[in-house]
Amino acid sequence: MKKTAEINATPVCQVRMQAISDTMSLLSGKWKFHILGTLIEGNTLGFMDLLREINGIGTKMLSKELQDLEVNNLVNRRVMNTKPITVEYSITEYGKTLSPLIDEMAKWGIDYRRKVYLKDAK
């Protein structure tokens, strides 16, 4: 008997799959969660502040990722009229809706470390 046709297309699953893909594509890459997490904690920060806060990121990546996040209305970019020009980045109201997701991710990662540590200690 052939069995190629029966793809599970239950609407609920399809919607969930699509939703997960959407979320991941907006937050893809190595740095977006770090940037968002830092901005959620730290209110407004300048470009150089972020560069110092986020360990390991370079200017190219920071610049590119901030642009992506701005386009998707997750981050505000505000050029200040200061002597050496400064730019203030902050999380948008919409960006704040990612807090539960980021918190879950951090929480799970912390538990994971604890678990690995306990296993190794045995």
Please give the residue ranges that form the binding site for its own copies (CB under 8 A).
3, 6-8, 13, 15-24, 26, 30, 33-34, 37-38, 41, 48, 52-55, 94, 97-98, 100-102, 104-113, 115
Q: Which does 53 bind (CB under 5 to 8 A by kind): its own copies, DNA, none?
A: its own copies
β-sheet bridge partners, residue 75: 91
> Could you tell me the two tokens for 82?
């200061």
Q: Which does 71 bind (CB under 5 to 8 A by kind): its own copies, DNA, none?
A: none
- The footprint of DNA (CB under 7 A) covers 1-4, 28-31, 46-49, 56-61, 63-64, 66-67, 77, 83-87
Contact of 76 with 89, CB cutoff 8 Å: yes
Owner of token pair 């918190």: 103
Rounded CA-CA distance 102/79 in Å is: 27
